[in-house]
A and B are shown apart, each in its own frame.
Chain A
Amino acid sequence: MPNSQLSSKLRSSSKRRRSKSKRQKLVPNQPEPLHQETEEEQEEEEEDEGNGFKLKTSAKHGVQPLGNLYFINKGAVNVRNTGLGNLHVLTDELVLEILALLGAAHLGVLATVTKSLYVFANHEPLWRNLVLEELKGEFFFTGSWKSTYVAAASSHKFESSGESVLKIRDFYSDYLFQSWLCANLEMRQEWLERDNIVRVRGISVEDFITKFEEPNKPVLLEGCLDDWPAVTKWTKEYLTKVSGDVEFAVGPVEMKLENYFRYSDGVTEERPLYLFDPKFAEKVTVLDSEYDVPVYFKEDLFSVLGRERPDYRWIIIGPSGSGSSFHIDPNSTSAWNAVITGSKKWVLFPPDVVPPGVHPSPDGAEVACPVSIMEWFMNFYGDTKNWKKRPVECICRAGEVVFVPNGWWHLVINLEESVAITQNYVSRRNLLNVLEFLKKPNAKELVSGTNDRENLHDKFKKAIEEAYPGTIQDLEKKAEEKRIAEEQKVTFWDAATDSKSGAFKFSF
């Protein structure tokens, strides 16, 4: 049962592609340079599912990677360079940085100068920024960011939608090709195969605490959402209906659900806009009544702060390909993530293992994960196969909950359109860690989700003392005892195996 739903999705989408004219293949696991068959070569070849990457559409404008210029069409002219004139010495990123400073009309004019500038000026991320800056969350997505902008700006006066459809031959660029590639790649089967998380169903709260929460281990819990009305009720239609004109947080803007779903239904991009709202239950109160915190996570100590507590619960909605690249949750809290509809791929690393490709700053204030999720899978996932400290992985489906222990790195990608709820929490098992974290001198930058970052430590501690007097001292005492016991264990064995005498002896 578990895999049938997912693999049929992959099968059906590949069937769709076969009936379309062009399907491109990539030689997998190739380091620099990338290689792609040209249209002529493709048409002669048989479909081969085994080796190739699965792609959603054919390359926009026909952009090819540089490898093709070096290895296939040797000696051919790169239209990219001839079409840029003096600008050709600049890198693709620099050209795009300059174009990012232009207004929409100037970008449109630039697209008519040469084929090369046509490709650059139609780079979708440029138009996405223009739309979000000028239209904010009010945009009416028409299938691409450019046509969305043009439609709004020109009030549909013109015959053309502004959609750029011209095919350009002999344009080679690794940066632009990679960008298109990551937007159109589907998750490879081998990235989804490893599913080594522990799965449990119907365990007691005590068992959960001793086996997972206390030792700080991730686990996937089945059957917790059986009582949630949300699981059957929260279709896109229903959510749109009950939310009406309420706007939800989507990246840099706020959007009505109707507009968001219009976007998420039609989009294919590397980093899709993700709906992630920390006030959903306050904004649409009926939603609050249709889900309930699973029994394992009822202890929620930040609740002592009442309205002044940091953000702690989010509704998460996003299309296939959306998600979060590697990060550690804020405030040293633990979290649970419940999938209501859809499915998510998870990759988790323990606190002391930095995932490949991730570079946190020394104080932990900044986590630089420069690559997108898809790029991470393409370039770094393979590394983890040979590591001793393998990541914990799983696919979490509708009705299931993933427990993310505090401090663990995690990456999540939606394999299909998904609706989920996630909450961060502090229980007694984690209270001391959190207080420790909040005490740090750079707490102001690291602590998130509240306006009053600097005082959060003091406020929280005070509120705990008032609500649960003596708890902190108890926990500190227990922690101290544990630490001493650990130290004595070492001393015991050191002493017991006295190297001088060679004999095994006891000493207390």
Chain B
Amino acid sequence: MSTSKKIVLKSSDGHIFEVEEAVALQSQTIANMIEDDCVENGIPISNINGEILAKVIAYCKKHVVLPDGDTSSSSKEDLKDWDAEFMNTDQSTLFDLILAANFLNVKDLLDLGCQTVADMITGKTPEEIRTVFNIENDFTPAEVEEIRKENQWAFE
């Protein structure tokens, strides 16, 4: 068994993470840097802190595709459960994960995060949506009337 290459990542607050190349490659951003051969001294990730970076790495570890094409030891269902649990967190962390996945270009994690937020919107009334995301209604009564008319079809 050959020793796989390790990639060193440094978070914005100075935490060091050593990850297997196969894990790191799930980030298209890092994959490009590896291809361009600029990872010798570790990769500084200046806009992601240690807490979030650790989570992203945990996700990538769980979802790594082994060289022989096999996805980790978990079955598809196990992965789904794990993902659901992974997404079961406060909004601040959730949005940070989405931003991190966007920056590092980890497509599956980004899709997962966006779908999670979409699910938080689907099926809710406007008032419920405001409550969930801590939003204050800024329409005047006259505007409310007009907008409601415009989108009446959506409420039927």
Contact = CB atoms under 8 A, between A and B. Distances in A.
A157 B138 CA distance: 29
23 contacts: A79-B138, A85-B130, A87-B95, A89-B95, A98-B121, A99-B118, A101-B118, A104-B154, A108-B155, A109-B126, A111-B150, A113-B129, A113-B130, A113-B135, A114-B137, A153-B153, A154-B153, A154-B156, A157-B153, A158-B152, A158-B153, A166-B147, A166-B150
A109 B125 contact: yes
B117 interface: yes
Interface of A: 79, 82-87, 89-91, 94, 97-99, 101-118, 150, 153-154, 157-160, 162-166
A111 B98 CA distance: 23
Given A113-B137, A114-B139, A86 B91 contact: yes
B133 A163 contact: no
Interface in B128-156: 129-130, 133-139, 143-144, 146-156
B52 interface: no
B92 A86 contact: yes
B99 A109 contact: no
Q: How large is the interface on B (under 10, 10 to 19, 20 to 34, 35 or more residues)?
A: 35 or more
Contact of A85 (B114, B135, B150): B135
B99 A89 contact: yes
Contacts of B151: 108-109, 111-112, 162
A153 B153 CA distance: 8
Residue among B91, B102, B121, B136 with most chain A CB within 10 A = B121
A112 B95 contact: no
Contacts of A114: 130, 135-139
A499 to B, nearest CB: 40
Nearest to A155: B153
Contacts of A83: 135, 138
B114 A97 contact: yes
Given A109-B155, A112-B126, 16 more contacts: A86-B135, A89-B96, A94-B102, A102-B122, A108-B154, A109-B124, A112-B151, A113-B130, A113-B137, A115-B143, A117-B135, A154-B153, A159-B149, A160-B152, A162-B150, A162-B151
B67 interface: no
Contacts of B150: 111, 160, 162-166
B102 A91 contact: yes
B150 to A, nearest CB: 5
B130 A102 contact: no
A455 B77 CA distance: 41
Contacts of B69: none
A105 B154 contact: yes
Nearest to A151: B153
A106 B121 contact: yes
B112 to A, nearest CB: 11
Contacts of B149: 159-160
